[in-house]
A and B are shown apart, each in its own frame.
Chain A
């Protein structure tokens, strides 16, 4: 990856993070730490991988991204707005009555959202169905699923993981945002999901582990997944930092993971993000 490309992606991710802070701050809700951990993964996919047409959001031949990590939808919304699927002004109505951007993604309301969600653990299954329909129509659709590590506690995930291997399609890539947290604390302290690599491998998946904040590694992971043997789904276990980019969020000083920022902390967080890029002054 060229340094200029990396800098461009880092700059986009920074702006997305700022929008996420504003959205969760203004709405006084949303899972800030979980949003910030997944930002770089979806920025990379939406800017460098997915074959999409933001001006034609329902283009039938587009690649699909199933965002299973629904509670982190502010990150997805901020990415979709910045990618041109809808006006960025919509972000500030997130979670309000009548808003296009609901508390959980609704594909029929929001251009760019490819699948329903809200109750976790359904992303891989939805992706399987999308791949089956593409196979029947002889389309070379690629499907990406982005899920949280806490979701691995849900049984239906493994039903779908088993189905994906039976389907034998290499066109499915699942990113697991391994941020290590869930609402009640650390994932491992609540219900152990490790060893995740061995679990996916045992289910017939190819597995690669990366740093989920390093665009060069994300690039390698996507190239690896798409150039595989063609009959195995791939899981990219992306190690991430919850609250990435904001010190108090990274250190877990906000209370519960779902705890919103108050006005002062929001301003403080925005200043910290802006100073990290050397750019002064906000946009909103």
Chain B
């Protein structure tokens, strides 16, 4: 059981050893496992910008203009919301190469409460033309995506959580790309698209659904933008129905992306298991997951409903 935060930390260290143009900026996060591996080995390429996310993003843009690959890390709540203007103006519109890493995303900030939990970051980042959005679902894929993100010529937003989750592992490196996805279970009963921690809930749901005679196809949609559209559409053609599961507000996330794809290319019933347009509150991440209905149980329930309405 490991977090995507620490996976990225390992991947960034590996990438930093391979590429001496990678520069780490962070908003005073020295204790976080995402920072320590790289910063200890490459202190000359690490900049603690203090608790000034807006300045951190602009500085990252300046570094990118100077030929570096900046990796800017902060709490997803402050990185994406506080610095949205800087991200849009200095990185997204000019299409500069940069990696933005939002930590403690979703409900994983737990006891810190509603302001530190972030369920709007994907909506904000998806809305920016040219911004790629990645949400890894385990330690190995998060580690791998550090290299992918640093090699991408434009801006990338990477969303990390601090929940300890099981490893899935890298099954096929060629799938692990921006715009990619990976089928973790194959079936023709219902398509379950998930990202981040909800991939694991989807796998649990698939096991229960199979006992009920519904074979779920589980797709890890770690690339929310661009979406693995062909993979999703091929699955929808087989199953004729879909459930999307994400640790994000129901507005602006993976659910809307998949629903829009289905609506325009192959209309089938789509249901979303997500935070139902509410803010969080203090509690352990697992308590909050239960409270806001982000578990395999909701996925099973929605799957049974869309399956009964499937269109093939």
A residues engaging B (CB < 8 A)?
Answer: 60, 64, 66, 106-108, 114-119, 122, 125-134, 136-137, 141, 155-156, 159-160, 162-163, 166
Contacts and interface: CB of A to CB of B under 8 A. Distances in A.
Contacts of B61: 115-116, 122, 125-126, 129
A126 B55 contact: no
Dominant secondary structure at the A interface: helix
A162 B52 contact: yes
Q: Which of B49, B55, B61 has the most CB of A within 10 A?
A: B55
Interface of B: 23, 44-45, 47, 49-50, 52, 54-55, 57-68, 70, 85-86, 88-90, 93-96
Nearest to A106: B94
A116 B66 CA distance: 13
B247 to A, nearest CB: 30
B49 A163 contact: yes
A167 B44 CA distance: 12
A20 B66 CA distance: 30
21 contacts: A114-B65, A115-B61, A115-B65, A116-B61, A116-B93, A116-B94, A119-B86, A122-B58, A122-B61, A128-B62, A129-B58, A129-B62, A129-B64, A129-B66, A130-B62, A132-B23, A132-B62, A132-B68, A159-B52, A159-B54, A159-B55
B251 to A, nearest CB: 25
B52 A129 contact: no
Nearest to B54: A156
B57 to A, nearest CB: 8
Contact of B94 (A107, A125, A128, A156): A107
A64 B67 CA distance: 13
Contacts of B86: 119, 122, 125, 156
B89 A129 contact: no
Nearest to A118: B89
Nearest to B47: A132
A133 B63 contact: yes
Contact of A108 (B23, B47, B95): B95
B67 A133 contact: yes
Given A119-B85, A136-B45, A159-B52, A129 B94 contact: no
B59 A129 contact: yes
Contacts of B93: 106, 116, 118
Contact of A130 (B49, B55, B65): B65
A132 B96 contact: no
